[in-house]
Amino acid sequence: MLTARLAAVPHLLAVPALAVLLAGCGIRATEVPTNFGPAPSRVQCSLSEPDVSTQAARGLPVQVFLLCGSALVTVDRTVRVPDGAADSERRMLVAQGLLDQLATPPSAAEKEAGYSTDVRDGITVGGPRPGDPEDTLRLSTAPAGLTSYALAQIVCTFSDSAAAEGDGSVVLGGPGAEAPRRYECTDEVRARPGSTEPPSKGVTGE
């Protein structure tokens, strides 16, 4: 009987040794929770101080929506509008200036804070065609051809600017024969631009 107990001792000692070996290989021997350290820090989505590079050019103060942390966040910009421009011309100049600002890569300080843009350079904007509502903005790229992020950036930037009526919506069309649509910038769009596209509805010469 004593001999049997002594013979079992090496097997008992082997159990913790096996657990050590398993742990050394990265295999969890038990279901005890393990502390993997603190979670990665989140991007701040805010600038610690004014970005001098974005304030260097004088012009009409505007705000554009950039991406940060998978959401839309406003940043201050300026667009140039000649003095004495007629209202219709002024509106087109503001709209094009906003597009150009959206397509401009974020500054070094903005990149460090986590900002980015999905709007590509080269998009132009024009006014309404016969039969369009008078506040229509027609893009050189059809809204349906934009990424959900870029469309959300453009809709939210335009809808709260002098380029639109300021009611949280904007009428957009493309270069083709398709009728324009009225797009809205909602809280859901601002929070989840990648998965929530701006709601839209058809318009007929409002």
**Mean of pLDDT values over 124-150:** 95
The tokens 């939210």 sit on which residue?
Answer: 156
Neighbouring-strand partners of residue 170: 183
3-class secondary-structure state, position 118: coil
pLDDT of residue 183: 97
- Note whether 158 and 95 are within 8 A (CB): yes
Q: Residue 83: is its pLDDT beyond 90?
A: no
For the stretch 179-197, pLDDT in tens is 999 999 999 999 999 999 9
- Note whether 173 and 205 are within 8 A (CB): no
| More confidently predicted of 23 and 72 | 72
| More confidently predicted of 122 and 6 | 122
The tokens 């949280």 sit on which residue?
Answer: 168
For the stretch 24-65, pLDDT in tens is 444 333 333 333 333 444 457 876 555 544 444 568 899 999
- Note whether 171 and 181 are within 8 A (CB): yes
